[in-house]
Structure 1
Amino acid sequence: MKFFFDLFPVFLFFVAFKAYDIFVATAVAIAATIAQIGWLRFRQHQIDKMMWVNLAIIVVFGGATLISQDETFIKWKPTVLYWLMATVLYMSNQFFRKNLIQAVLEKQVVLPSFIWDKLNLSWVGFFLLMGGLNLYVAFSFPVDSWVTFKLFGSTGLMLIFIILQVMMLGKYIKEASTELIDTQSGNEQHDSTEKISK
């Protein structure tokens, strides 16, 4: 559900572009992002830091697009966001020993520390690649193709990447589950032995 909620401004951007043009679509995307955060505040939900960052970037680059009437700025917006996320993930892990991917997923998934590091690096690589791919599509194809890629291409690649990660991590998740079951069984046997001895 959150995934589709996050796509709300992008979807409206796509619809507005098809109905009008890139400048109307940019204004709609800015308004939708502001409305998105306003709705979360109204509902008293926690707002992710990246949502605030995304808002700042869309306001700056979208605003520059509207003021200058130059679509170049809005085309750069996804790349700036992707590369910023890659930088944050890499710097946090390398210099502050804070694996942000682990911090988000560790309650749902148990993995060895070296796998968490690989997972973090894989997301860094993915965001770097996506940033470069966005620039390639934005400046090598018509704006209509870029807008379509922004909604369907980027979303599709993200889903494929997540599915591949789940498949690759399946082995470690099973191993971790087996170890957890063995540990619990061992503790239960130990408790039973203590009760018998008493």
Structure 2
Amino acid sequence: MKQFIDFIPLILFFIVYKLDPRAVEILGQIYTLGGIFSATAVLIISSVIVYGVLFVLQRKLEKSQWLTLIACLVFGGMTLAFHSETFLKWKAPVVNWLFAAAFAASHFIGDKPLIERIMGHAISLPQALWTRLNIAWVLFFLFSGAANLFVAFTFHEIWVDFKVFGSLGMTLLFMIGQGVFIARHMQHAESDPALDKTKD
């Protein structure tokens, strides 16, 4: 469920982006609501609120959440400062590739792949399967970043739609595939005790 918290600000971003530009009064000030730049401002504000609430409730944020928040502030802030949506188009690819780098680096840093550190407390798998699952996450983030970059700079008219629903769809499909993979191999491990020895 945590993976989908990131999509709350994105959905708000999408709603505001799709609005026809209109003037609204907030605290005595007139702002334009609708279009890419007001949507970017909403993305930044909602991200700060969402992750701020999480920080208060959990007393901490995960590294992935810090990365997402910082990327939103940096790329969103540059989009508003330079009045250019190009910076925002780079946010999703860069974040995805940084996640891919983190998962890949965990094969060489530390004693466990990153996915095992995240999920190992909840499920038990042979080490070889943790490695395969971690590599799958690396490939997913590489593909997701490349897909976002390609759509953003090739299909300008639909890049926001893809940023929200394309990314959500890819994540959902990958999570389902991961669940099927884990369930299948857990069943095999239970039926074949010899597989359990590969954990040691």
Q: In the alignment, which of 73, 96, 116 is matched to residue 87 of structure 2?
A: 73
How many residue pairs match? The answer is 180
Kindly report the root-mean-square deviation, in angstroms, between the aligned alpha carbons of the 2 structures.
Answer: 1.8
Of structures 1 and 2, the larger Rg is shown by 1
User: CA–CA distance in 2 between the matches of 1:171 and 1:154?
Assistant: 26
Give the TM-score taking structure 2 as reference length: 0.83
Q: In the alignment, which of 43, 46, 70 is matched to residue 57 of structure 2?
A: 43
Q: In the alignment, which of 69, 86, 89 is matched to residue 55 of structure 1?
A: 69
More strand by share: 2
In the alignment, structure 1 residue 33 sits paired with structure 2 residue 37: no
Question: Alpha carbons of 1:12 and 1:129: their partners in 2 closer, same or farther (altered >3 Å)?
Answer: same
Q: In the alignment, which of 178, 183, 189 is matched to residue 165 of structure 1?
A: 178
Q: In the alignment, which of 140, 145, 152 is matched to residue 126 of structure 1?
A: 140
Using the TM superposition, give the Cα deviation of residue 91 of structure 1 relative to its aligned residue in structure 2, in angstroms.
0.8
Q: Mean Cα displacement is larger for which, 50-59 or 132-141?
A: 50-59
- Which runs of 5 or more residues in structure 2 are unaligned? 20-33
Calculate percent identity across the aligned residue pairs.
40
More helix by share: 1
- Partner deviation per Cα, 1:49-98 (whole Å, 9 max, x = no partner): 11111111111111111011111000000111000000011112223333
Q: Residue 114 of structure 1 corresponds to which residue in structure 2?
A: 128
Using the TM superposition, give the Cα deviation of residue 169 of structure 1 relative to its aligned residue in structure 2, in angstroms.
2.8
AA paired with 1:79? P
- Which runs of 5 or more residues in structure 1 are unaligned? 184-198
AA paired with 2:144? M
- Note the 1:140-151 alignment, pairs <5 A: 140-142=154-156, 144-151=157-164
- Partner deviation per Cα, 1:92-150 (whole Å, 9 max, x = no partner): 222333311011111222111011001000100110011000011000112x4111111
In the alignment, structure 1 residue 94 sits paired with structure 2 residue 111: no
Q: Residue 98 of structure 2 corresponds to which residue in structure 1?
A: 84
Using the TM superposition, give the Cα deviation of residue 47 of structure 1 relative to its aligned residue in structure 2, in angstroms.
1.5
